[in-house]
């Protein structure tokens, strides 16, 4: 997707602070963090939103959860962390390349953001 912000970040056309990368996923610091640790984990393949996850592309989603645990450990989030995906308008999705917010480093309330 040539006009997708996160596809451009993956290609290095827009700068980002990389936290992790492998052949399937890219993880980088959120530009507007809501917690001491706020990382976005995205598949390199363009998937717009959770509605578009299906049996053909869902393997990358389970991989993202594996990666999330590894990143959380590396960043010292032994006390816990959250992985969240906003899908659609009511949830406040603003970038339509599916992404997983990994947030931690403080006590997290349930009803926030
Ligand atoms: P969402 O509201 O779930 O779609 O989340 C989009 C996230 O992308 C927000 O937390 C933004 O702060 C973040 N974001 C937007 N542009 C950038 C960027 N250029 N680099 C890093 N994070 C970004
Ligand atoms: Zn994209």
- Domains assigned to the chain: 5-80+99-104 (3.30.428.10)
| CA of 38 relative to ligand 1 center, distance in Å | 10
- The 10 Å CB-count burial string (b at 16+, else e) for 51-77 is eebeeeeeebbebbeebbeebbeebeb
The DSSP line for 32-88 is S-SSSEEEEEEESS---SGGG--TTTTHHHHHHHHHHHHHHHHTT-TT-EEEE---S
pLDDT digits (tens, 9 = 90+) for 27-55: 999 999 999 999 999 999 999 999 999 99
In tens, the pLDDT along 54-109 reads 999 999 999 999 999 999 999 999 999 999 999 999 999 999 999 999 999 999 99
Active site residue: 38, 46, 97, 99, which one?
Answer: 99
Q: What is the pLDDT of residue 56?
A: 97
Question: Hey, whose CA ends up nearest to atom 16 of ligand 1?
Answer: 31
Confidence band for 2, pLDDT divided at 50, 70 and 90: confident
* CA nearest neighbour of 38 among 62, 64, 17: 17
Q: Which atom of ligand 1 is nearest to the CA of 16?
A: 20
pTM of the model: 0.97
Tell me, in angstroms, the distance from the centre of ligand 1 to residue 95's CA: 7
Nearest ligand to the C-alpha atom of residue 13: 1
Distance CA 10, CA 42 (A): 9
Ligand whose nearest atom lies closest to the CA of 35? 1
CA quadruple 54, 55, 57, 58: dihedral sign: positive
* Catalytic residue list contains 99: yes
Protein residues whose CB sits closer than 6 Å to any atom of ligand 1: 5, 14, 16, 30-32, 40, 86, 92-95
């Amino acid at each position: 997707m040539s006009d997708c912000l996160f596809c451009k970040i993956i290609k290095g056309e827009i700068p980002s602070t990389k936290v992790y990368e492998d052949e399937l996923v890219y993880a980088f610091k959120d530009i507007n963090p809501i917690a001491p640790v706020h990382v976005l984990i995205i598949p390199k393949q363009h998937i717009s939103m959770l509605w578009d996850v299906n049996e053909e592309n869902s393997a990358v989603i389970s991989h993202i959860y594996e990666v999330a645990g590894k990143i959380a450990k590396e960043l010292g989030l032994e006390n816990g962390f959250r992985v969240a995906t906003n899908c659609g308008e009511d949830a406040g999705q603003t970038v339509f390349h599916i992404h997983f917010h990994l947030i931690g480093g403080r006590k997290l309330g349930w009803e926030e953001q």
